[in-house]
Structure 1
Amino acid sequence: MKKAQYLILIYFFHVSLSYSQTITGVITDNENNVLPSVNVSIEKENYGVISKNNGSYSLKIKENRSVVVVFSCVGFEQEEIRLPMLKKGQNYNLNVKLNNQNNILNDIVVQDKKTRIKGINRIKPKIVNILPGNSVGIEAILKTLPGVSSANELSSQYSVRGGNFDENLVYVNGIEVYRPFLIHSAQQEGLSFVNTDMVSNIQFSAGGFEAKYGDKMSSVLDIKYKKPRKHLTSINMHFLGGAIFSQGINKKKNFTYLIGSRYKTNKYLFNAMDVKADYNPRFLDIQTYFNYKINQKINIGLLTNISQNIYQMTPKNRKTEFGTVNEALRLDIYFQGKEIDTYETYFGALNSNININKQTNLDFTISAFQTYEEENFDIIGEYWLYQLDNSLGSNSFGDIAFDRGVGKYINHARNKLNARVINFNHRGKSIKIDNEVKWGFKLQKENIKDEISEWNLIDSAFFNYPHPNDNIGGISNPNQQIVLNEVLKTSLNLTSYRNSAYLQIAKDFNNFSLNAGTRGSYWTFNEELLLSPRVSIAYLPNWKQDFVFRFASGIYYQSPFYKEIRNNQGILNYNVKAQKSIHYVLGSDYLFYKWGRPFKLVSEIYYKSLKNLIPYKIDNVRIQYLTNEISNGYASGIDLKINGEFVFGVDSWASISIMKTEEDIENDKKIDENNNLVEVGYIPRPTDQRLNFSMFFQDYVPGNPNFKIHLNAIYGSGLTFGPPKSEKYQDILRIPSYRRVDIGFSAVIKDSNKKSKIKLFNKLDSFWISLEVFNLLDINNTNSYIWVSDINNRQFAVPNYLTSRQLNLKLILKY
């Protein structure tokens, strides 16, 4: 018996000696992010380990044997590396970089468990090219996500969970980017800052986001640009413009570049709108991103952008039919005048990234943003308001029955703005086995100058014009004045400093994951110091079903930037304070398989307590803040999204959101039906879109996945609005629901992984063509209203309709 025990001890001692050789290293992805939970094993042997939270691993192997080590992780390509024979006691260091899988399932299968526990939507950039619609940027995808709404296909702006357009953060490579300030209509917009050809990673959070993200109340869009591994050039052409893009890497693989230029013109779209005019909109930009790796520890990047947006319009006439069956009306307008707007922006950012060691990384960035904006227009419109014949069976049904009114309106503007934002930003992180610490600070200088002179006049039968007394022989009153409907005159020169810092810690406890942190900010204009603690807890139960549950809460302050601090007379309100939103978010993430294919169901219930709000009105895409008012409110709702392979091999999704947001303006009173002065109470906010549904669906010809169909459908219930110069509580009217369906038919002529039967196409890496139908159902969606008066001075809201059904052809070449 003792002899047997000795033999067993000798055997295990021999085995332990044979495995005394060790390989160690760190596993990262293409963006140098460490990868936890990667399986590391020896081929054909039932032995392996899992990488730690900091991406490190340690694996023992046998001596004097050449083995193949396998690295595998869901969402990444498997890596197999053969090692040389190791002598007894020899150690070997092997750092590995895993490539993302090149299939569309990355949106469904978890690439990184951090994405799920943080409640972040990860979006594949290539979806942008196949999503049908006249919005050609990343924002078009965002509008299909739960909690995100937009009722204007001409605009890249969006609202999230009851917030307005100014409440959304956008980062590119960790740098906050801005949009033009003066734009008041979607027709004036060009393209957003983000060049989709340059993007490698898109992450979006609709609430409850981390302390490292800045000081806005609603959402964050975090974009990362590529670090290319090969040379590639692409050309994108369609009826609305085009783009050219080139990427490359040098032979030493320590220098990479991205260069992209985009051109857009919406003239094709505008020609189908009610207002007939000579439209000449032009947007052009050039963007570059250079990256140089000095050594294994130091990396330098340079991001630049120059853009010019010119909008010219000479209106001619307009005919719009509106009203109801009982009161069918038509508005005819004949125009004089012209509008010329220019927006020029310049942006540059120099970044250095330093890997102190495997656990610690430091990042330093200096950036500058400059914008020059001008709006100049004088538009005179003479209108006729007609009553239409609504008698069924009448020979003149639908024709003009009689005149309801005649009048004139004049819109005038001479607006100029010059804004410069310069900042220095530092971010750092340190990763240990189960802990991750991130910190950062930003020092920012802002200088804004504007000269605003804008007014409009609406008059019926020249009632508002000065005229002599109507009695014969009367004496004219020399003090008569023209009464303007709206006037905005300001002169502003503001220089201020805005500083912020944050610290956050992430730690795993068994099945729990905790992320807690705080950020502070200080603005010299109102001398306000803000602290914003934030926390999120995720629970991953050991169930057969793959669930993740998450709760997040935090304080999100938003200090005023520019428009919130001045009134219509140009007087600055130095007492204005930061708006405050407290988020409470409870969500679940369920990954499952049905019909042998992966699906993901994400749900979130949220409540936002809103304090110290600055009320506002929205006209088209312009936000008009009521600077001297303060309100408190709330936003609550539920978001649901399911995505997966409804058709084998292609991804589709559907989202639905139910939301309600209201506010109570302080000291706001009205006269009730009993002629008593009473408190107004809670009223809907301008973004109170109660129901929002969106769907993106893909299918292909059976047996030939190169021919696909892409369907994008959006429904949003109506938003509130009110008559001009009305009190805020009177904005109780609702714009009709927004309904739109776009469809695209695409064909892959040359696949990057296959040879074409046509030899000419084999010179290309890929060739893709798509035919799109915008607004398939040809629905007249309303964006805003123009107000006119009849001879009795009764006001009518005439809808400004958006685009009608149109075709688009898109070509994408890569070589």
Structure 2
Amino acid sequence: MRTNKYFFIFFFFAICSITLAQNQTAKVAGIILDENNLPVENVNVSYQTKTSTTSADGFYELTVPANQRIVLVFTHISLKSITATIQLKPGENFEFNVVMNDKAEQLNDVVITNDRKRVQGITTIQPEVIRRNPSANAGIESVLKTFAGVNSNSELSTQYAVRGGNYDENLVYVNEIEVYRPFLIRSGQQEGLSFTNTDMVQNVDFSAGGFQAKFGDKLSSVLDITYRKPTKFGLAAEASFLGGSVTAEGVSKDKKWSAIGGIRYRDNSLLVNSQETQTNFRPTFADVQANINFTPNKKWQFSFLGNASQNVYNYQPLTRQTNFGTIDEPIALQVFYQGQENDQYQTLFGAFKSTFTANENSIYKFIGSVYHTKEQEYFDIFAAYFLGEVDSNIGSENLGNVVFNRGIGTQLNHARNDLDALFVNAEIKGTHFIKDKKHQIDWGFKYTRENIRDRLVEWEVIDSAGFSINPPILDFPNDQPYTPYTGPLAPFQNVRATNFIDINRFSGYAQWNTKTSFGNNQLWITAGARFHHWMVSGRGISGGKAQTVFSPRAQFALKPDWDKDMLFRLSLGYYHQPPLYRELRDFDGVVNPNVKAQQSIHFVLSNDYNFKMSNRPFKLVTEAYYKSMTDVNTYTLENVRIRYRANNNAEAYAYGLDMRLNGEFVPGTESWLSFGYMKTEENQDNRGFIARPTDQRLKFGILFQDYMPNLPNMKLYLNLVYNTGLPGGSPSYADAYEYQNRLRDYRRADVGFSYVFTEKNNERPEGHWLRKFQDLSLGFEIFNLFNNQNAITNTWVRDVYTKNQYAIPNFMTTRVFNIRFTAKL
């Protein structure tokens, strides 16, 4: 096997790959209607020598070559012919519906990278890339983490931060319906499943900043997902050591009804048992999703999206040993545990959407959704720890063992946290085209009611060498054992609160976009504004005031009349984030109803360059950005749980540069390289700027696909991420200005090998058993290929003798092996 030169450049070790590609195929399918919206039978759909004929319900399907422009011809004995130029990617299933009449017509080219998304600065991710990507937490989020401006140092969590924001600052939509995340998430082990079922996905769009006014009120990013609308029966299944899934789809005979649904189950035991904390822990996750569509006629479309999920965590830690310190002074933390944790998260989500096409220039949509979550965190965990010096003398019988304990103590953590939240949304949206569709107007209004019932009971007691340690906020002299202590005994941390909160929100937007030209240059302009009005009320809440924010935004895209295919974009505007419940609650669990919306001003300047290298398509996207933030609600991170101060006491900024090169490094496959530099700091109470918890300076990400020339059935997928270390955070009770150390750099490589039995399936004879499958493959995956120790946060341990407090890194998973089987009919 000949080594691919690109592979050599970007990876630490030489993994063999190929440079020669062979033609691959894609499928195009759809329904052909006449002017009266009736299906047309016996339409001949052809490409060169390949043909297909529509059935009585107007349906057709045709296998075509991938990665090249082809011309489809639609002919009928009584209707005029239609031609359409398309270009698809390997393995893609493209839905292409056509309306035929008595006038000859040539349809516009259908290409994957279209101008609309390109001028909006939206990155499109192919579903097949998501499904094939090897990752400990496979899904859309695992692919996003290879992008330059996206950060996450926890492979057990679907949370991600974008360009200096935190995990709560990202919008997620499925079929234009906003998706909510759990509230009580405490650790990276508690998110085994993303909301999105990747086997149901048709399209994924992502914007890392400077997005349009039609998207909602968050500060950082937008992930816009569209589920597939089936055109025929299909069945897909996947099984691995981490769980499995089954997805089914179908369509009625009259093509008016279609449905797709899936069941998923995941067990993270394989991953969590590789961590340094030895546990009896089997976290399980399960969900059921369904998307049902009904199209009674040309004017109306109806759909329902439903989801039910349950996550269960029965956690019983046993022991832990973490080695840290320096070569000259190695230190080890040994912990012995008693007790257990029992957490559960149950969510129900349902949404109804209807679309009315009044005429070719006006479209109206109504969306109603309900989200209900019941979450609990119960734990009583007793930990006895020994902080000691490690024997580093080579040749010693005790090499690597603790030889002297400098700190001995115990810690008891208790929690009885319950949350019940109900969100109800109603939204109406409209789209209008003016003057031969040269201008487009979008508008929308939305009402949201949030009802939260929350009980928070948490306390922590720390005992060192038999003497209880009081929290820093209690200023009582304590120099035990030399002087008897006569002050009060108090938990080191103690939070008790019960909150019943109602939040009513009204929001809306109006947006205009157009395409014009001057000379031979093309210019796209988008301008719009949002408003958001809300008020917090509830039991025991007094003095809550109604608040309103306005967010004007604009985007400009220029395509010069150059030989090179370049596009320049400028995006700027105001972005507000009215607080959700978690942002209203301070460290003590007390709700401040008058927390302001955090405000950010985005400036994004980008260049999009399409070119060919070795006669293969590539794209280079470069974005420089600056964000100025005011009314910042500062926070601390405990693993991936965010605790806010709820006082808008800071200002902040973020600036950086993102670069991403994607294309066919290997013919017929899509890979990319990304690089990012970012700096983000905040100034609390005018004390000076310090690093924010998400201050990720350098980022390198690679997603690479390859296959063997002599064995084209064997595919290779590699996911590599390198981040410089994030700030290690500070204890929630401490002054962040005194804790500015950083975690070690994050380095991770996941690799997957997959043998595809259905490769070149179209060349097999009719009746062969493999022709029944669209995909049948067996894969072998290695997570954390180089067995790097990556930390997510720090545990803070006090040395009673020196009065120092040590940051003990909480390491994530080590190297893990997995086998995955997939089948699709």
Hey, what does 1:749 align to over in structure 2? 757
Tell me: CA distance 1:288–1:194, structure 2 relative to 1, closer, same or farther (3 Å).
same
Equivalent residue for 1:513? Answer: 524
- Specify which of 301, 304, 309 is matched with residue 303 of structure 2: 301
Structure 2, unmatched stretches of 5+, are 1-27, 33-44, 46-64, 95-109, 471-477, 537-544
Are residue 806 (structure 1) and residue 816 (structure 2) matched?
A: yes
* Residue 294 (structure 2) aligns with: 292
Counterpart of 1:734 (choices 737, 742, 749) is: 742
- Relative to structure 1, the CA distance from residue 776 to residue 137 in structure 2 (aligned partners, 3 Å threshold; closer, same or farther) is same
The residue aligned with 1:49 is none
Which residue is equivalent to 1:312? Answer: 314
Change (3 A) 1:295 1:722: closer
CA contact (8 A) 2:29 2:93 kept: no
Q: How much has 1:762 moved relative to structure 2?
A: 4.2
> CA contact under 8 A between 1:29 and 1:100: conserved in structure 2?
no
The answer to whether the Cα contact below 8 Å between 2:300 and 2:355 also exists between their aligned partners in 1 is yes
> In angstroms, what is the RMSD of aligned CA positions?
2.9
Indicate how the Cα distance of structure 1 residues 31 and 692 shifts in structure 2: closer, same or farther if over 3 A, else same.
farther
Query: Which of residues 700, 713, 718 in structure 1 aligns to 2:707?
Result: 700
Q: Does 1:253 align with 2:255?
A: yes
Change (3 A) 1:73 1:800: closer
Amino acid of the structure 2 residue aligned with 1:558: Q
SS in 2 for 1:754: helix
1:715 partnered with 2:722: yes
Cα 1:29–1:683 shift into 2, 3 Å: farther
Distance 1:700 1:192 in 2: 29
Contact 1:755 1:762 survives alignment (8 Å): no
Which residue in the other structure is 2:419 paired with?
417
The 1-side partners of 2:578 and 2:340 are apart by: 37
- Partner residue, 2:138: 136
The answer as to 2:768 corresponding to 1:764 is no
Alignment of 1:391-430 (within 5 A): 391-430=393-432
Task: Deviation per CA, 1:163-193: give whole Å up to 9, x if none.
Answer: 0000000001111111110011011113121
Partner of 1:79: 72
Kindly state the Cα deviation for residue 447 of structure 1 after the two structures are TM-superposed: 0.4
**Cα displacement (A) at 1:416:** 0.3
Deviation track 1:186-231 (CA, whole Å, cap 9, x = no partner) reads: 1111312111111101000001101000000000000111111111
Q: 1:567 aligns with which of 583, 586, 593?
A: 586
CA distance in 2, matches of 1:714, 1:469: 48
Q: Classify 1:455/1:76 alpha carbon distance in 2 versus 1 (closer, same or farther; 3 Å).
A: farther
Q: What percent identity do the matched residue pairs reach? A: 41
Q: Following the alignment from structure 2 to structure 1, what is the Cα–Cα distance between the partners of residues 69 and 548?
A: 44
Alpha-carbon distance in 2 for matches of 1:632, 1:480 = 39
Is the counterpart of residue 377 in structure 1 residue 379 in structure 2?
yes
TM-superposed deviation, 1:146: 2.2
CA distance in 2 between partners of 1:299 and 1:469 (Å):
74
Question: Given that residues 29 and 97 in structure 1 are in contact (C-alpha distance below 8 angstroms), is that contact kept between their aligned partners in structure 2?
Answer: no
Contact persistence 1:148–1:160 (CA under 8 A) = yes
Q: Structure 1 residues 360, 469: closer, same or farther in 2, change over 3 A?
A: closer
CA contact (8 A) 2:355 2:365 kept: yes
Amino acid at match of 1:406: I
Alpha-carbon spacing, 1:596–1:470, altered in 2? closer, same or farther (3 Å): closer
Alpha-carbon spacing, 1:808–1:756, altered in 2? closer, same or farther (3 Å): farther
Give the Cα–Cα distance (whole angstroms) in 2 for the partners of residues 485 and 97 of structure 1.
70
Aligned equivalents of 1:722, 1:201: Cα separation in 2: 36
Superposition deviation, residue 648 in structure 1? 1.3
Aligned match for 2:620, one of 577, 595, 601: 601
Provide the rounded CA distance (Å) in 1 between the counterparts of 2:552 and 2:566: 27
Deviations 1:43-87 (A, max 9, x none): 9xxxxxxxxxxxxxxxxxxxxxxxxxxxx999986431225578x
CA pair 375-219 structure 1, distance change in 2 beyond 3 A: same
Deviation of the 1:799 alpha carbon: 1.5
Describe the superposition over 1:712-758 as per-residue Cα deviations: whole angstroms up to 9, x where unpaired. Answer: 11011111134423212123110111000111111101248436699
Report the Cα offset of residue 410 of structure 1: 0.9
Aligned mates of 2:680, 2:713 — CA distance in 1: 44
For the 8 Å contact 2:729–2:794, the answer to whether it is kept is no
Question: How much does 1:296 deviate?
Answer: 1.1
CA distance in 1, matches of 2:650, 2:480: 47
* Equivalence for 2:153: 151
Report the Cα offset of residue 386 of structure 1: 2.1
CA offset digits 1:358-388 (Å, max 9, x no partner):
1211111111000000000000011122211
C-alpha distance in 2 between matches for 1:195 and 1:308 = 15
Amino acid across the alignment from 2:776: F
Structure 2 CA distance for partners of 1:137 and 1:470, relative to 1, 3 Å = closer
| Deviation of the 1:703 alpha carbon | 4.0
Partner of 1:794: 804
CA distance in 2, matches of 1:548, 1:297: 36
Partner Cα distance (2:68, 2:355) in 1:
26
Q: Which residue of 2 aligns with 1:390?
A: 392
Deviations 1:549-587 (A, max 9, x none): 110101000001112212233332233111000000000
Give the structure 1 partner of residue 444 of structure 2. 440
What letter is aligned with 1:608?
K
- Deviation, structure 1 residue 103: 2.5
Q: Is the CA contact 1:752–1:765 (under 8 Å) kept in the aligned structure 2? A: no
C-alpha distance in 2 between matches for 1:790 and 1:433: 70
Equivalent of 2:697 in 662, 669, 690: 690
Q: Which amino acid in 2 is paired with 1:273? A: Q
Match of 2:550 in 1: 531
How many residue pairs are counted as aligned between the two chains? 731
**In structure 2, C-alpha distance between the alignment counterparts of 1:741 and 1:74, rounded to whole Å:** 29
User: How far apart, CA to CA, are the structure 2 residues paired with 1:345 and 1:268?
Assistant: 25
2:510–2:528 CA contact under 8 A, matched in 1: yes
Q: Offset of 1:788 from its aligned partner?
A: 2.0
Matched residue type, 1:484: P
Task: Summarize the Cα distance change of 1:304–1:96 in structure 2 as closer, same or farther, 3 Å threshold.
Answer: farther
The 10-residue stretch of structure 1 (789-798 or 199-208) with the greater mean CA deviation from structure 2 = 789-798
Q: How far is the alpha carbon of 1:402 from its aligned partner?
A: 1.8
Aligned to 2:783: 774
The residue type paired with residue 458 of structure 1 is I
Q: Distance in 1 between matches of 2:816 and 2:257?
A: 44
TM-score (normalizing by structure 1): 0.85
* Deviation (angstroms), 1:760: 4.6
The answer on whether the counterparts of 2:66 and 2:90 sit within 8 Å (CA) in structure 1 is: no
- Matched-pair contact (CA < 8 Å) for 2:73–2:84: no
For residues 517-574 of structure 1, give each alpha carbon's deviation from its aligned partner in whole angstroms, at most 9, with x where no partner exists.
Answer: 1111100224111111110010011111100111010100000111221223333223
Partner Cα distance (1:275, 1:309) in 2: 21
> Displacement of 1:611 after TM fit?
0.8
Contact 2:149 2:162 in 1 (8 A): yes
Q: Please tell me the residue identity of whatever aligns with 1:790.
A: D
CA–CA separation in structure 1 for the residues paired with 2:72 and 2:137: 38
Give 2:90's aligned residue. Answer: 103
